Structure formats: structure tokens, C-alpha cells
Amino acid sequence: MFDKDYLEKIRIEKEKWEEKLKGSKERDVKFVTDSEIPIKRLYTPLDVKGDYLETVNFPGQEPFTRGVYPSMYRGKLWTMRLFSGHGTPEETNLRWKYLYENGETGFSAAVDALTFNGIDPTNPDGAPEVGTSGVPLYCIDSLFALTEDIPIDKISVALVVEPFTSAPVCAMYFNMAKMRGYDIKNLMGTTQNDILTMTVGYIPYKNSPPNHLLRVACDFIEWTVAQKNVPLWHPINFTGYNYREGGIDAIQELGFVFASACSHIDNLIERGWKADDFVGRLAFHLAAHKDFFEEIAKYRAARRIWYKLMKDKYEVKNPKNFGFRFHVQTAGSSLTAQLPMINIVRTAIQGLEANIGGCQSLHTNSYDEAICLPSEQAALVALRTQQVIADETRITNTIDPLAGSYYVEWLTDEVEERVWNYMDKIQKVGSIDKALSTGWLYKEMRDAFHKRRTRLENGEEIMIGINKYKVPYDTVTDVFRTSQKAIDTEVNRINKLKARRNNAKLEKILDKLRVVCEKEENVMPVIMEATKEGATVGEICDIYREIWGIWEPPLAI
């Protein structure tokens, strides 16, 4: 990027400067990023390689380092989307409206453990967890209640469900929208539908084996986008965030995400589609963690890697399909139950990373994140944090403001190179379902868990309130409790639905689903039919279990 002779001059001057440093002591800490990239004391033009037009270029132009759109936040701010759900659909609807009235610009449904795993509330194994960690969405009536009086034709909704339940839950949503008179061809939203979230991010409870999860995830992409039934929908959101929270680093986060994305693209190409038929709607969800500059470099590197993958590996032609569009969530695992107000500071800094890094959408965590689901007050503070960034800091005046920083450009290159190397390592194991079934990914997660624990216990990684300026665990914040009545409400909802529906007709549709599952055909058309007739998520998932079996993940300790 710089003239050769000029660089030589800088090199000579730098040597002189280093002479002056001799004998001066530095603090006894490791100067490394969170992913252990060694960091120099100073970066200069000598560290910036590559040609500006080739490696950085302008926003909205190849290789998209500076952003996916030409105008970025000067054209449109990021979507402020808080991941939210608790108790019952009705209670969650009230919370959504509260946030909307306070300036939220997108919705995101956090579902409970039963919805995640396709378990109906009538099953005693999971009954105590109805509504405790998210909103219960067990049948189509739940979706009506969730979105009542919400203009779903104008505001996008993210449904955070994973491959095992994404088809039934989203089919319920699409049917609800149709019954309300909306054309689902214009419907905007996202389904998380991320195979790794429910396998290594969380562990699955009685889900089917990974090869089937990969296939149903691809069924959903095929039916919504490739076959254009819901063409504006984001049918998948590769959610590095959820496994990053387990302790893997920024390099592994992108490695997991891209390896998984490639396996899905390969599956759809095997079905006869071209990458251009669907890749433009694939979306991503990354973390904003503790290392400020490394995270920003990560977002910039991610855009460049995705562009190269699309162009070189998948020979994508349409320039609209090169863009790496992503949602960000600030790091829940960086927050503490001790001194919870400090979490507001942490979250503000992480939110800033995401915005400087050019995210399309952002969730900021609540200060009570480490203790309970967010209280109304905590959720409002989280939303206001984004609004302060958007309306008060003026960081949105210019696009990609850290470009040209010797450090950030160098770190972007470094992150990119390390991610390519890590992806090679994953590729040697095979497709993403193989990386799961062989246990390889579980070992990577396990190693990350222990590395983090060791670093925290020996003080190499600092958490204020935990291992420095330690305070006893005594939650001083009010604890938000989910409704104890949720279980009764949800059992009643299902009972009412079952009394109303045509069970004979539904049985026939469910038999059709059995055949479709056996033949490994696309499950979406018949699940659209079944959920319209009142099938519950649990009933659909029980058929998956019956035909495809139940998978015990090969956990490593």
C-alpha cells in the first residue's frame, strides 16, 4: 500500500525508535489477543501488506472488507433486535410491544427448552421448564398470540429455533401469517436453523442424528428461498455466537461458521441447485466478545473470506450474493452475576465493536444476563445502550472508520489467514455432520472449556469481580422470575387445540410425513399442511424420532 522507498525510510526510523526503548521495562503480561495472536507494541506502514483496491477497497465492493453496502449506516442504521421471550406467548407479546414502543426495530423470539427440543408440555420430563428460558411455541395458536397487534409485514421477526424444530415452528408462523391475510412472499424474517447451536452450543435432548438435522435445515432453505415460497426470508443464520459462548476463540468461531455454511451449500448443490439460487439469503450471527480490536478485525475478515468462498469455491455470479450479512450479540459469557451494573459497561463496549465492525443487526445483553432472563428494566437499558451508540456517539458519520489503522489492517489479515488454516483442519474431518458424529467438534469445545477455566483460575484472563477486585456472589439486582402459571396456560392451549382440530384428517397428514421422512424428501410441504391442521411441534418431532431415531452426542470431558 506504500511506496517502497518510503517504507525503507520508515524501517530505518523504526530501528532508531526501538533503540530508545532498550532497557525500558514492560508490564509482566502476555501481549496477545483473545485467540492468542501475539501483538507487537506498535504497528506502522511496514505491517500493512496488500493493495488497497484489492484487499480493502470501497464498501459494497469486492472483497467487501469495509462493509456489504455502499452507504452502510449513513443509509440505514443497523436493526436493533433484542432476543426476547419468557413465560407465555401473551407475556412475550407484551414485552415485544414494550420494546417496540421504546424504539426497537426488529424482533427476535427466544424460545424455551421444550420448543427447542420438540417436546410438548404434557411430557413430564420437561414440564418444569415451560417458559423458564424463553417463550413456549408449541402450536399454531401460540404464534397468533405471540404476534398479536404486531405489524409483521413491516417489521422483521427472527425465530430462534434450530433444525430439529425449525420446520414445524416456522411452518406455524407462515400459516399464521397467511391466515392473517399476509402474502408470505413478502414476509421478512430469519430462522436460526443452525445445526451447531443445538449440538455443540447446547446439547440436544432427544433430537435426531446430525445427518438428518443437516438435511432438514437444507429442506428449509430449499423450500423458502430456492423454491421461492418465502423468498425474502433468511432461512438460516449460522450462529457462531452460540458456540463462541462455550469458550472457543474468534478464529474457531469463524471456522465453525464457514465450515457449516459450506456443508449446507454442498448439500443444496447436490440437490441440483446453483449457489446463486440461495446464497444471497444465508445470514450469520456472530459474537462481540472482550477483545475490542480482534472482534472488529474478525468482522472485516469474515466479509472477505465469505466473498472469496462465494467467488472462488462456489463460482457465484450475481454480485448481490457476495455479501456477508450478520447479526451480532454481545457476549453473555463475559458478564458476571457479581456487580451486575458493570455489565452495562461491558455491553456498551461490545456493542460499539459490532457497530464499528459494520453489523446489520444487534442484540445487546441485559445487565442481569448472568442471573435470569431479562427484567423489563434491564432490557430497556440494553436497548438504550444501542440507542446511545446510534444517536449520541456520531460513530455512524463515516463508514468503517478503523480502516487504514496499521494495527487493524494487519490484524484483519492475520485473522483471515488463521481462519483459512483452521477451516482446512475441519475439512479434513469431513462435512459438518461428520465433524459432529465423530465427536471432533465436541473435543474442540471441551478443550476450549478447559482452556478458559485454566486461564480464569490462574488469572491470565481477567474478569472484574470474579478473579480481580473479587466480590462475593450475592445478587444485588432484582431477579426476574418467569410465570409459574405458564405450564397450565400451555397445557390448556394444547388441549383446546386438540379438541378443535380434525384428528382423523391430521392423522392422514402425519402418515404422509412418515413416508416423506422415510424417503428423505423435503419435509416442508407436508409440515405446512400438518401445522395448519393443528399438529403440535412435539407431534412432528416425534415422527422424526420414530423414523430417524434419537442421537446421543459423543460428549467429551
- Return the residue of 9, 450, 500, 505 that touches another protein, per CB under 8 A: 450
Pattern of binders to another protein over 34-73, x per CB under 8 A? ----------------------------------------
Binding region for another protein (CB under 8 A) out of 282-290, 301-309, 463-471, 520-528: 463-471
DSSP string over 214-277: HHHHHHHHIIIIIT-SSTTSB--EEEHHHHHTTT--HHHHHHHHHHHHHHHHHHHHHTT--GGG
Distance CA 335, CA 383 (A): 17
How many residues touch another protein under the rule CB under 8 A: the total is 44
* Contact (Cβ atoms closer than 8 angstroms) between residue 201 and residue 438: no
- Member of 73, 78, 83, 116 binding another protein (CB under 8 A): 116
Nearer to another protein among residue 205 and residue 406 (C-beta): 205
CB of 363 to another protein, least distance (A): 18
- H/E stretch holding 16 reads helix 4-21
Under the binding rule (CB under 8 A), the answer on residue 272 touching another protein is no
Pick from 543, 443, 536, 527: which is nearest to 212 by CA? Answer: 543
Please tell me whether residue 119 binds another protein under the rule CB under 8 A.
yes
Q: Indicate whether 235 belongs to the interface with another protein (CB under 8 A).
A: no
| Contact set for another protein, span 322-381 (CB under 8 A) | 336-338, 370-373
Strand partners, 158: 108, 190
Q: Answer yes or no whether residue 247 interacts with another protein by CB under 8 A.
A: yes
Judge whether 332 and 371 are in contact, CB under 8 Å.
no
Q: Among residues 186, 421, 473, 550, which is the contact residue for another protein, using CB under 8 A? A: 473
The answer to whether 158 touches 106, Cβ cutoff 8 Å, is yes
Q: Which amino acid is at 550?
A: I
Work out how close the CB of 41 gets to another protein at its nearest, in angstroms, rounded to a whole number: 33
Nearer to another protein, 175 or 193 (CB): 193
Stretch that binds another protein, among 37-45, 214-222, 276-284, 472-480 (CB under 8 A): 472-480
Please state the closest distance from residue 552 (CB atom) to another protein, in A: 8
Are 235 and 221 in contact by the 8 Å Cβ rule? The answer is yes
Distance CA 351, CA 316 (A): 32
Task: Take residue 178 and report the three cell numbers written for it.
Answer: 397467511
Residue whose CB is less far from another protein, 129 or 416 = 129
What is the smallest separation between the CB atom of 481 and another protein, expressed in angstroms? 8
> In 3D, which of 67, 121, 42, 555 has the Cα closest to residue 323?
67
120 is an interface residue for another protein by CB under 8 A: no
Task: Give the C-alpha separation, 418 to 435, whole Å.
Answer: 19
CA separation for the pair 221, 226 (Å, rounded): 7
Q: Which of residues 452 and 498 has its CB atom nearest to another protein in the complex?
A: 452
- Please give the backbone phi and psi of residue 471, each rounded to the nearest 5 degrees, phi first: -125, 150
Minimum CB distance to another protein, residue 550 (Å) = 11
- Report d(CA 501, CA 506) in Å as an integer: 8
Nearer to another protein, 109 or 302 (CB): 109
57/333 with CB nearer another protein: 333
Q: Is 468 in the site for another protein (CB under 8 A)?
A: no
Torsion angle of C-alpha atoms 330, 332, 336, 339, degrees rounded to 10: 40
Residues numbered 166 to 205 that lie near another protein (CB under 8 A) are 198, 202-205
Query: Does 129 help bind another protein (rule: CB under 8 A)?
Result: yes
For residue 328, which of 307, 309, 355 has the smallest C-alpha distance? 355
Q: For another protein, give the closer residue by CB, 132 or 355.
A: 132
List the one residue from 35, 482, 522, 531 that touches another protein (CB under 8 A): 482
550 forms part of the interface with another protein (CB under 8 A): no
**C-beta closer to another protein: residue 132 or 364:** 132
Among 23, 474, 499, 519, binds another protein (CB under 8 A): 474
Let me know: does 87 contact 110? Beta carbons within 8 Å. Answer: no
Q: Where are the beta strands (DSSP E) in 449-505?
A: none
Of 94-102, 116-124, 254-262, 276-284, the window that binds another protein (rule: CB under 8 A) is: 116-124
Residues 204-233 that bind another protein (CB under 8 A): 204-206
Among 18, 125, 391, 518, binds another protein (CB under 8 A): 125
CA 231 to each of CA 18, 171, 265, 514: distance values in angstroms, whole numbers, following the listed order: 58, 14, 17, 27
Residue indicated by cell numbers 443437516? 214
Binding to another protein (CB under 8 A) within 132-151 occurs at 132-133
Question: To the nearest whole angstrom, how small is the minimum distance from the Cβ of residue 331 to another protein?
Answer: 14
Q: How far is the CB of 502 from another protein (least distance, A)?
A: 30
DSSP state of 362: E
Amino acid identity at 6: Y
Q: Is residue 485 close enough to count as binding another protein by CB under 8 A?
A: no
Helix (H, G, I), strand (E, B) or coil at 431: coil
Cell numbers given for 21: 526503548
329 by DSSP, 3-state: which?
A: strand
477 half-sphere exposure, CB direction, 13 A CA radius: 25
What residues make contact with another protein under the rule CB under 8 A? 113-114, 116-117, 119, 124-126, 128-129, 132-133, 198, 202-206, 246-247, 336-338, 370-373, 446, 449-450, 453, 457, 463, 465-467, 473-475, 479, 481-482, 555, 557
